[in-house]
Chain A
Amino acid sequence: MFRFIHSSDLHLGKPFGRQSEDVRARLRLARSGVFARLAQAARDAGACHVLLAGDTFDQETPAPSITRQALNSMAQAEDITWVLMPGNHDSLAASELWQTITRDKPDNVITALTSAPLVLDGGHLLPAPCTTRNPGRDLTVDMAAATPTGSIRIGLGHGGIHDFKTDGAEGPSGTIAPDRATLAGLDYLGLGDWHGQIRVSANTWYSGTPEPDSFKHARSGTALSVAIAAQGAVPEVTPVRTGEIDWQRLVLELTPEEDVAALVSQALPPLGDRRDSRIHIEAQGRVGVQQMQDLSSALARVSPDFLSLTQDTDALRLSHDAGDLEVIDPSGGALRQAAEALAQTAQDADLSATDRRVAATALSQLFSFVAEQET
């Protein structure tokens, strides 16, 4: 039985520049702990190999501290053998990086810098390192290279099995044949590049990133624990959680009758999980002015619970009813008329979306100012 952990896309050194300083620090801290968690996952699975299918580093030339600390982390897990293969972010074009790693790596780190098969305890690894950021060809073709008869053949590649770019993802041009495992006689093909975990076939998997870096692939990071009994055997693949920070994108579909505060409360994770969660609320649908205020208030109230909480209300259309406008001005005077004019503008289909948004914002602001006057 050959057991190993399949992971990829650690993206060490990712700066998270859009985030606030404290969030950035937390995300980096979580990212730096990935090696320890992967090592622990390997131990838990009874494996002694961790295969990293590319994009271990976010940049071609990361800061020396990033490289050094990564090597140190792997050196600390001395019972684990780490296989590092270049992805598109840290391709072979990142010569300085790989020279440094080759020069400074501890003994338990193996670099897969060519397509030459590597002998592992229990099998042969057939890597397809990215030569450049956009190789423009299917590098896994070389995985058909011969290995000793009876040896378990593990392929390790990086890239899309279809053009992920159409999905907005980064990735090398030139896609990997989805049936590469069959074509090359592989017992398992471990892929990287897609940050979400995907089962392409029984023996072809994307491990996903062990520590998420965006809301695109929601939830916590995972790795794959793989066990292969023998050549030709169907691998046992088990997802294991490795992420420390939860990235959740919550879509709130709102209607004018919705109890916004209650809906928000229901959608959010339990209190105990909030500290290490990044939440992005995407509100859509139609709400009244009061609901809009309620939504803002509810989100503002719970925001400190989370590592970060952001919201996107661009898709939320402002609706109003007599009650909303009654709150603004029950007398039907000029305030009421101004509110009605803004509400009408916010819903005028003949206007641009920008103008409608400005009008909706103005109405919301009016509501806020009126509310401030009441308190």
Chain B
Amino acid sequence: MKLRSLTLSNVRKFAGQTATISGIGDGVSVVSEANEFGKSTFFDALHALFFLKYSAATREVKSLQSNAGGAVRVAADIELPEGRFTLEKSFLAQKRASVKDASGTVIALDDEAERWIAALMANGLEGPAGLLWVRQGVTALEPAGSTGKEKETLLGARQSLLSSVAGEIDMITGGRRMDRVIEAATQALARLATKTGRPFTQGPWHAAQVEMETHQARHDALDKACRELSSALHQRREVAARLKTLDAPDRIAALDLAVAQAEKAHAAAAAHAEKLTHARGQVELRLLEQEAAQSKLDTLIGAARQYEMSKAALDQARRIQSEAAQALGTAEVAVKEAQRDATKAEESLSQATATREAAQQEVLRQSAADRYEQLRDVLAQVVEKQRGLSQAKAALATQPATARALAQIEDAQATVTRKQRDVASGGVQMALSYTGAQRVLLEGQPLETGSHQIAQRQVFDLQGIGQLTIDPGGAAVDTSALEQAQNALRTALAAIGARDVTEARAMAAQRAELETEVTLLARVIETLAPDGVQQMQEAVEQAKAAASQMEPASEAPPTDPAALSLALDEAQEGARRSRSAYDQARDTRDKARAAQARAQAELEAAQAGFETAQAAYGASDSFAARQDDAARNHSAAQVAVNDAQAAVDVLERAAPDLASATAELTRARSAAQNARDAVTRLRTEHAELSATIRTRAEDGVEEKRDEAAGLLQRATERAARFAHEAAGLSLLVETLRSKRGAAQEAYFGPVQQELTPLLALLHADAALSFDPSSMLPQGLSRAGVEEPLDRLSGGTQEQIAILTRLAFARLFARQGKPMPIILDDALVYSDDNRITAMFTALHRVATDQQVIVFTCRQMAFAGLGGVQPLVQVTDDG
């Protein structure tokens, strides 16, 4: 398509006017006019002609209206392979659209004209594929604003820019059409299934599955009921058949007859058994009678024998009792004698014991007196030693010359001696001899004649003469140490009160003796009174009390303890023997008494037995007659037993089997009863089954089951249809996305191919990268370094934006679909060099299709060349 002219009537600043651009060429056409001329008005009007519906009253349409109001009219002459056409739209006050051919014939009006134009733009597809627009000042390719409104504005700009290539993108990737189809398929799938392919809980597939499960459960329950019904019917038939057999009249009669016969046989057997029992009772009775006769005879014979035996036993008992009485008398005498002997022995023992005790008491008393005396003597010694000890301690207390004090004195003496020797070895010797009475005084004291050692500088008073000072000089010695030692000796001696060392030594020896004495006396006292003097004094008092408590014997006790012990032992032995003899005598007497008692008891028993036997025996004169009668009675009883047993034998041989008769009767009765019970049970079972069947039948379970089966099948099929539908949708969405992705990948190649030579006009070795999601350029790569598009300069961004469209335009042209490129002051940031390169790019593209440039930069675009369309503005009317 090529645009040849554009006419605006009553549009914006052209109120009441008609503005026309005509003579638009095949290649580059430049509409170069000053600002405020209305280039953008042409631009917007052209956009409205192609993309806004004539009936629209949107803000965009209203923005075209002049201040005077009224209808807005836009018309364009275009050239297609089919010929020239005039498109015209009138907006707002007079809404109309029309398409006319070259002859002026209207070929489409209003909505049809809209469709005609839309088809022209999109070649049958939706979207503005027919024109590539670049609006004034809109160069950004991606929204970069931070605030909402700015972002929205930039987004709109981006969409506007993208819209110029969207048609091609749509053509390749399916575009919005593809998006809508995918969206529709996705929504349709979402109504059925989740993302994991499971039925969506709110969707019809899930509902069908739930319905299917519901019908399945109902069908299963009904099927179970049907099986129960069928089973009940089957059981009832079997029950009825069995009932018919069991309840047959001839069968019942046969069972009753069998019972009657068994009862009769059982009664006969029972009667015979009763006779036999009676006969056996007779036998038992006869046997008892026989036993009684036998017993009576045996009693008589036994009584005679017992009588003789008891008589002999009585005689024997009497003799034994007499002997026992005699033995008891002898034993009583022996006991008395032994008792007397024992008494005497005890008396002897008592006497010997008393004698020995008296002797022992005397010994104890003497011992206590001795102990008292002994303790008293020791105590006296202790008291004496204590006194000595006290005296020694007192003496010791007055004697201070301890060994230590003596040792100090000895040491002081040794020091004085040593110091004296030191002094004697130094100083000078002064020999003094007097001739008169006058004496040399030293410190006021006269000096004796003789040699005096002058150890240090000394000043001597020479009475009447003056003073003499002698200084040993280098021989002078220090005498203070000697004096100090001498003072120490004097102090030590004074401490013990000694005048000199010798006395000190004597005093020390005396003190040592005293210490020895004190130690000795203390040890003696400790030996005599180990528990202390006080304790010893108490012991003396106790011994004294013990000795005073024991009185001396009235007469002198025997003094031979051995003899006393021997006499006591002999008395004890005698007493022991006497007691033993006495005990033996008593045992003998007790045994005699027991034997006598037993003999007496046996005598009494024998007497009683004899009397009993005598009573049983009875009168001896009639005994033989009584014994004969008993023998005869016994024989008669034996005969009666034999007769009764014979009768039993006869009955037993003829007896029927009562147990068998009883068993037969039981069996017959049981069979009859079982038959009646079975009939009753079967009737009950039949009634129960009939009730079950009626209940089920009234429920119509089979029909419901079949109905549920049908519903189940229908629901199953429905669920399967939804599953199939979901599978189809899933496959469709997957395929669509896959193909769109593949198309997107395939899209970049040709665009890059067209873009590269155009880009090379501005940047050698530069390449543009595209965002696969937005399908727009996202970065420029130069010398191996890629920069995001939004960081490039405004000029570079607008150049890339235009070049990208030019690349699309060339792509379309090569595909036989050339379309105009319309630029409205699109190059506002480019410098002179770049704008020249861009002019070259425009001309390169213009070999294939129209490039219409609106610009106010008349000077800058003078170098663009191309055709200058004629612009006219005339007043309407």
Do residues A17 and B710 form an inter-chain contact, with CB atoms below 8 A? yes
Consensus secondary structure, chain A interface: helix
Name A335's closest neighbour in chain B (CB-CB). Answer: B174
- In Å, the complex CA distance between A65 and B731 comes to 51
A265 lies within 8 A of chain B by Cβ: no
Interface-centre pick from B698, B701, B710, B731 (highest chain A CB count, 10 A): B731
The complex places the Cα of A364 from the Cα of B707 at a distance, in Å, of 34
User: Once bound together, how far apart are the Cα atoms of A323 and B424, in whole Å?
Assistant: 161
Q: Is B79 an interface residue (CB 8 A)?
A: no
Q: Is A59 an interface residue (CB 8 A)?
A: yes
Q: Which one, B177-185, B351-359, B794-802, is touching chain A?
A: B177-185
Count CB-based A-B contacts (< 8 Å).
167
The segment out of A88-96, A185-193, A233-241 that lies at the interface is: A88-96
Known: A63-B700, A369-B184. A15 touches B230 (CB 8 A): no
Interface residues of B in 152-209 (CB under 8 A from A): 170-175, 177-178, 180-181, 184-185, 188
Please, how many angstroms separate the alpha-carbon atoms of A24 and B729 in the complex? Answer: 33
A332 to chain B, nearest CB (A): 8
In the assembled complex, how far is the CB of residue A180 from the closest CB belonging to chain B, in whole angstroms? 28
Of B178, B693, B696, B728, the residue contacting A362 (CB under 8 A) is B728
**Is B89 interfacial (CB-CB < 8 Å)?**
no
Question: How many angstroms from the CA of A200 to the CA of B713 in the assembled complex?
Answer: 35
Q: Are A63 and B708 in contact (CB under 8 A)?
A: no
Assess whether B234 is interfacial by the CB under 8 Å rule: yes
> Taking A62-B702, A66-B700, A334-B178 as contacts, is the C-beta distance between A16 and B727 under 8 angstroms?
no
Residues from chain B with Cβ under 8 Å of A372 in the complex:
184
Whether, in the assembled complex, A198 has its beta carbon less than 8 Å from a beta carbon of chain B, the answer is no
Q: Which residue of B lies closest to A330 (CB)?
A: B124
Q: How far is the CA of A365 from the CA of B711 in the complex (A)?
A: 28
- The answer, yes or no, to whether B229 is at the interface (CB within 8 Å) is yes
Given contacts A337-B742, A365-B729, contact A95 B233 (CB under 8 A): yes
Q: Which of B549-594 contact A (CB under 8 A)?
A: none
Given contact pairs A18-B713, A333-B178, A372-B184, A94 touches B233 in the complex (Cβ within 8 A): yes
How far is it, in angstroms, between the C-alpha of A97 and the C-alpha of B728 when the chains are bound? 50
B739: which of A17, A338, A358 is its contact (CB, 8 Å)?
A: A338
- Of the candidates B123, B174, B701, B703, the one whose C-beta lies within 8 Å of that of A334 is B174
A361 and B736 form a contact (CB under 8 A): no
For A345, the chain B residues whose CB sits under 8 A away are: 731
Q: Known contacts being A62-B703, A63-B700, A357-B724, is A337 close to B743, with CB within 8 Å?
A: yes
**B702 touching A338 by the CB < 8 A rule?**
no
Is B743's CB under 8 angstroms from A93's CB? no
Q: Flag if B735 contacts A96 (CB, 8 Å).
A: no
Q: Which residues of A contact B544 (CB under 8 A)?
A: none
Does A61 lie within 8 Å of B710, measured CB to CB? no
Q: Within 8 Å CB of A59, what residues of B? A: 700, 702-703, 706
A21 to B363, CA, bound (A): 146
- A342 to B173 Cα, complex, angstroms: 17
State the Cβ distance, A212 to closest chain B Cβ, in Å.
16
Is A72 interfacial (CB 8 A cutoff)?
no
The docked-state distance in angstroms from the alpha carbon of A171 to that of B742 is 59
Name B732's contact: one of A94, A329, A366, A373 (CB within 8 Å).
A366
CA distance A96 to B231 in the complex (A): 13
- Chain A residue numbers with a CB within 8 Å of B711 are 17-18
Q: Which of B700-755 contact A (CB under 8 A)?
A: 700-704, 706-714, 724-725, 727-729, 731-732, 735-736, 738-740, 742-743
Which residues of chain A in 336-375 are interfacial with respect to chain B, using CB atoms and an 8 Å cutoff?
A: 337-338, 341-342, 345, 357-359, 361-366, 369-370, 372-373
Q: Determine whether the beta carbon of B710 is less than 8 Å from that of A342.
A: no
Contact indicator B710/A15 (Cβ below 8 Å)? yes
Residues of A within 8 A of B760 (CB): none
Determine if A60 is an interface residue (Cβ-Cβ < 8 Å): yes
For residue B697, which residues in chain A have a CB less than 8 angstroms away from its CB? 61-64, 96-97, 100
Min Cβ gap A276→B in Å is: 20
Is A149's CB within 8 Å of the partner chain B? no
Q: Is the CB of B724 within 8 A of A60?
A: no
With an 8 A cutoff between CB atoms, is A331 at the interface? yes
In B114-132, the 8 Å CB interface with A consists of 123-125
A369-B728 Cα distance, complex, nearest whole Å: 13
Q: When the two chains form their complex, are residues A61 and B713 in contact, meaning their CB atoms are under 8 A apart?
A: no
Cβ of B237 under 8 Å from chain A: yes
In the assembled complex, the Cα of A18 lies from the Cα of B229 at a distance in Å of 24
State how many angstroms separate the Cβ of B681 from the closest Cβ of chain A: 20
Alpha-carbon separation in the docked complex, A17 to B709 (Å): 7
Question: Which B residues touch A335, using CB under 8 A?
Answer: 174, 177-178, 181, 736, 739
A224 to B240, CA, bound (A): 38
B181:A63 contact, CB within 8 angstroms: no
Does the CB pair A95–B237 fall under 8 Å?
Answer: yes
Q: How far apart are the CA atoms of A60 and B701 in the complex, in Å?
A: 10
**CB-based contact A61/B233 at 8 Å:** yes
Name the CB-closest residue of B to A67.
Answer: B697
Task: Given A18-B711, A63-B699, check contact A366 B181 (CB 8 Å).
Answer: yes
CB pair B181 A361 closer than 8 Å: no
Asked whether A358 and B731 contact (CB < 8 A) given A17-B709, A62-B700, A331-B171, the answer is yes
CA–CA, A358 to B731, complex, Å? 8
By the criterion CB–CB under 8 Å, are A373 and B177 in contact? yes
The answer to whether B724 touches A361, judged by C-beta atoms less than 8 angstroms apart, is: yes
* A211, CB-defined interface residue at 8 Å: no
B694 sits at the interface (CB 8 A)? yes
**Shortest beta-carbon distance, B741 to chain A, in Å?**
8
A217 to chain B, nearest CB (A): 18
Q: How far is the CA of A351 from the CA of B704 in the complex (A)?
A: 41
In the bound complex, CA of A97 to CA of B694 (Å) = 10
Q: Does A69 contact B (CB under 8 A)?
A: no
Question: Complex: how many Å from CA A66 to CA B179?
Answer: 58
| 16 examples of A-B residue contacts, CB within 8 angstroms | A16-B707, A16-B710, A17-B711, A59-B703, A62-B697, A63-B703, A65-B700, A66-B703, A95-B236, A95-B693, A334-B172, A334-B178, A338-B736, A358-B728, A362-B732, A365-B729
Given A59-B700, A359-B731, A365-B185, 17 additional A-B pairs, CB 8 A: A15-B703, A17-B710, A18-B711, A59-B702, A61-B696, A61-B697, A61-B700, A63-B697, A94-B233, A97-B697, A329-B177, A334-B178, A334-B742, A335-B177, A341-B739, A365-B732, A370-B181
Q: Which residues of B contact A (CB under 8 A)?
A: 123-125, 170-175, 177-178, 180-181, 184-185, 188, 229-230, 233-234, 236-237, 240, 690, 693-694, 696-704, 706-714, 724-725, 727-729, 731-732, 735-736, 738-740, 742-743
Ranked nearest first, the 5 interchain pairs of A and B with the lowest CB-CB distance are A17-B710, A63-B700, A15-B707, A361-B728, A59-B702
